[in-house]
Chain A
Amino acid sequence: MRVFGWCEPLGGCGALLVGLLVPSAVAANLEVTVQDSGGQPLAEVVAYAEPVGTKPPKGKLVGSIDQVNKEFVPLVSVVQVGSAVNFPNKDNIRHSLYSFSPAKRFELKLYSGTPAAPVVFDKEGQVVLGCNIHDWMVGFLLVVDTPWFAKTDGKGQLVLADLTNGDYELKVWHPYQVAPAASQKVKVAAGGETHFTFRLKLAPPPPRQPGNY
């Protein structure tokens, strides 16, 4: 108790404790670049590293998907299995969220000025989010069984931080991908390869026009 009391005002204390508890785990970062077939960077692509042969540790297990101007923000999200995801609703109008995806079926009514309880995603897989009231809205959530995940930035790049030594399957995913990209086997060890590139073909749906009903 005293340790936590002493720790709380300081950042990074949790990482220090983990380091002490697992002295053999040397942390490494993986850099991932995702491009389309023409070599152009792809943003908002999820990359995640699944440990092979060991049980993945639990990460933060939280997430947040907002609704802004009748859109899901971000369009693409990723969380670890068991995460509690909040839907804060910046719009401050009513939304009626749903998912029919096998990984998580739910309905969540969001009323103006009334925060809703978070939704726990307890199964791996892809979740497509919609809104009953605004059929225009669509969002995507990938639930992965690893704490090592990230999304590419505008340059098509991301970093998976602090992986412990061992073997991993490195995978990428985007909801508009035409076909899944082959995963890459990664060995995290001193002097190992740390930069990986993926090619992915996306086919975004055509933009919808207002009054298209």
Chain B
Amino acid sequence: MAPFRTTVNDVSTVPIASSRSQWLPAYLALVVATSVATGVASWMFLPRPELGPLLLLCLMGILSFQIREPDVGLRISFSFLSIILLASAAIVGAFGAWLVGSVSMLIDRRQRRWTATMFNAAMSGFVGAAGAMVYAMLGGVEGSGTVGLSTVALARDLGWPLFAADVVACLLNAALLSGVIHFDQGIPFGVQVRRVLSGSGVAFVGYGIIGLLFVILWYPAGLGAFSALLVLAPLLAARWAFIQYGEELRSHERTIDTLVTALGTKEPAAVDRSRRAAVLAEWIAEELGLTPGQIGTVRYAATLHEIGHLGVATRLLRRSPASLSPTERRVIDGHCVVGARMIEGIDFLEDARSGIRHQHERFDGTGRPDGRAGQDIPIAARIVAVTTAIDDVIREPGAAPVVSIAEVARRLRGDPGRFDPDVVAAAVIALDKHGWPAGSPAPVAS
């Protein structure tokens, strides 16, 4: 089960507010209502849990949420609450799991939007209850029923139902979470589900095993509530592993930021251009339905598309494009080759390099540096070409303060053979949906 618990992020970190769908309140209300109904129904129709274990599990749930790994870049935070919920399914049943899930997320000092807190609590309560119901339906034995079972019987009546509950909860969690991110930030639902599952799904289904160990220690090994203390060590190990996942993403971001800062020391205006290109490129990539890995590559390539300027003499970069001789023009255009060479040796940027190198190729095959055509040009390069062109249009000296999207589309299509028509179409849809990247209409700083 995936321990992704949203922090549906506060508005400031969302690029622009217009991405939010009008359906968001309805979606949130639906999830909350379903969850409450599930809780009430399981209280009325299913066996009720013992108070002691319930309190202990609630405390562990709250603890896990309080020490969660904060936002790891996908506007999602990780905690091992999912493991606690899984153990709850076998120890305190459906109502218990619902209560543990709901209570754990209610205390949230970092979240300023109460709707997000409500959603989080409702979602984890529902996921907990659903897991417990799957567990019961597959013949899972509750609590003390596991004492004295043989190893084979334990696998059949505890291990297997718990694993199924784990997988169901993981999928349900990913789906509910992607739904809210879809309505809140306009990221296509399928893209977000794949992103959540591919990032960490397998590993986190795997860590569900700790839930099984917890139950075994509690009943068959006869440790009772003391097992909670012992199981903390593997839980903290799992937490450390989640943190590494977040740290990996963060190390990539930091590396990129450092490179952009280095570029900004030489050419301050390039920093904003990079940021806008990254936002725009990510939107286009999502619209094209690329895999999570490809979207990452596209974003890196777009952020670093001008990194080669570090290798071009500053006095050339400072001159206006009109005053350059053809030779000087070629030196500047060579920046994409220089840039691709510069970041050679950073493993996670390996795929992005070709996106930087080929950003000046033309779709009809008459571009530089290698004269590649059509699908031979890496998708990252085709996207970067379009984002750069869009940025040029809206920041052109003398452009209207607010350029219409239709005007941008007309300009992009005005040069047939330069761009990939699919990418241009995706760009128009993305701009329609999200508006301009933040800071776009600002005057050119030079």
Is B one of A's binding partners? no
